[in-house]
Every structure is written in structure tokens, then in C-alpha cells.
């Protein structure tokens, strides 16, 4: 009579169901990584959309010869802001409406109030304010600075001032939810 022996399993082998679970989890992690990468690339391309067109329009329609920076501002309508230098080394900022393919205005940055000066004025007028950001904007059909900060009442504030002289244009204060 022949004895039936059960083959001894190695302590290093895993059950087949565990292999399938690990394979499925690994595939889900890989697919999630691919999806997140694709989403990141799409969001970044939308963020910089129109930058090359704005740059070429500024080079052809203004005195800007070398572009140093292209940003966008979404106010009443989307505006691209191209900063650069002329052949005579003057720094200019061109405000461009790409929808109409039109340069709205060009301003010499030496004629603008500096962002550092605006920050110092804000800190002098409101010592308890927490400064967040400052960037060029286009409000009320003229170049402006957009100051972002948290005021003494813990409100999130967007303040717009004229780029040429720092006169106030408008101010929005948003109350933050209490936690």
C-alpha cells in the first residue's frame, strides 16, 4: 500500500489569495500614481496657458526686447502681464488682453510705486497685519497692485491700489470661519 504524503509547504511561500491581493493593491497604487501625475500636468498647463502668445505679442507690439516674466491676472477679464527690458535697459510691464489680442497699456516700472514701499506702508499702518502676497493686477482699466494680507480682525483682505501712485482703488475683506 502506498502512503499518501502531503508535501510540506515552505515557510517562505504565501497563500495564493495573498499574492492576488498584493497584485491588485499594487496595480491600484500604480494607476492612482498615473492619474495624479496626469492631473498635475493638466493643471500646470492650464496655469501657464497663453504665456507664449502674450510674450510674442509683447515683443512685437511694445518696446520690450527681452522678456523676464509672464504672469496672469484674472479680474473682470483675464489679463496677461509681461515684464521685460527694452534695448535701452528700461524695465517695462505690458498688460495684454489675449482674447482681443491687444496690448491694453505699457508702463515703465520706474514710474510705479515699488512693491517694497507698499509692504512697508502696510506694516506701518497696520502692525498686527500679516502680509501674504503682492502682485501686479489690472483693475478699473489701469495697472494696479494687488496686496493680500490678514488684517487685525483676522479677515483675509485683497486690496487694490494704483500702480503709478499707490492711491486706493478697492478693498475686499473676507471674514474667516471661526474654528
pLDDT digits (tens, 9 = 90+) for 55-88: 999 999 999 999 999 999 998 889 999 999 999 9
CATH class held by domain 51-111: alpha beta
pLDDT digits (tens, 9 = 90+) for 138-157: 999 999 999 999 999 999 99
Q: What are phi and psi of 151, to 5 degrees?
A: -85, -175
Largest Cα–Cα separation, the chain: 107
Using alpha carbons only, what angle is made at residue 93 by residues 43 and 68, rounded to the nearest 5 degrees? 60
Confidence of residue 177 (pLDDT cuts 50, 70, 90): confident
Which of the pair, 44 or 141, is modelled with greater confidence?
141
Domain ranges, ordered by start, for the chain: 16-47, 51-111, 115-175
Instruction: Please state, in angstroms and rounded to a whole number, the distance separating the CA atoms of residues 83 and 95.
Output: 9
DSSP designation for 87? T
Q: Do domains 51-111 and 115-175 have the same CATH topology?
A: yes
CATH class held by domain 115-175: alpha beta
Confidence of residue 8 (pLDDT cuts 50, 70, 90): low
Where do we find the cell 483675509? 156
Please say if the pLDDT value at position 23 is more than 90.
yes
Q: Looking at residue 162, what is its pLDDT?
A: 96
CA-based nearest residue to 153, from 136, 128, 135: 128
Collapse the DSSP code of 119 into the 3-class scheme (helix H, G, I; strand E, B; otherwise coil) and give the result: helix
Amino acid at each position: 500500500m502506498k502512503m499518501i504524503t502531503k508535501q510540506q509547504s515552505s515557510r517562505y511561500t504565501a497563500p495564493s489569495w495573498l499574492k492576488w491581493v498584493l497584485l491588485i493593491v499594487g496595480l491600484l497604487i500604480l494607476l492612482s500614481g498615473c492619474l495624479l501625475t496626469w492631473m498635475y500636468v493638466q493643471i500646470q498647463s492650464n496655469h501657464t496657458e497663453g504665456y507664449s502668445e502674450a510674450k510674442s505679442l509683447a515683443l512685437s507690439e511694445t518696446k520690450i526686447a527681452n522678456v523676464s516674466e509672464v504672469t496672469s491676472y484674472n479680474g473682470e477679464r483675464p489679463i496677461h502681464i509681461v515684464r521685460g527690458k527694452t534695448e535701452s535697459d528700461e524695465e517695462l510691464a505690458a498688460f495684454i488682453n489675449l482674447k482681443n489680442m491687444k496690448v491694453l497699456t505699457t508702463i515703465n516700472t520706474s514710474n510705479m510705486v515699488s512693491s517694497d514701499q507698499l509692504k512697508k506702508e502696510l506694516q506701518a499702518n497696520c502692525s498686527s497685519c500679516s502680509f501674504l502676497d503682492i502682485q501686479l493686477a489690472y483693475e478699473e482699466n489701469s495697472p494696479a497692485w494687488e496686496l493680500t494680507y490678514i488684517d487685525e480682525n483676522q479677515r483675509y483682505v485683497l486690496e487694490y491700489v494704483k500702480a503709478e501712485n499707490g492711491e486706493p482703488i478697492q478693498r475686499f475683506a473676507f471674514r474667516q470661519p471661526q474654528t
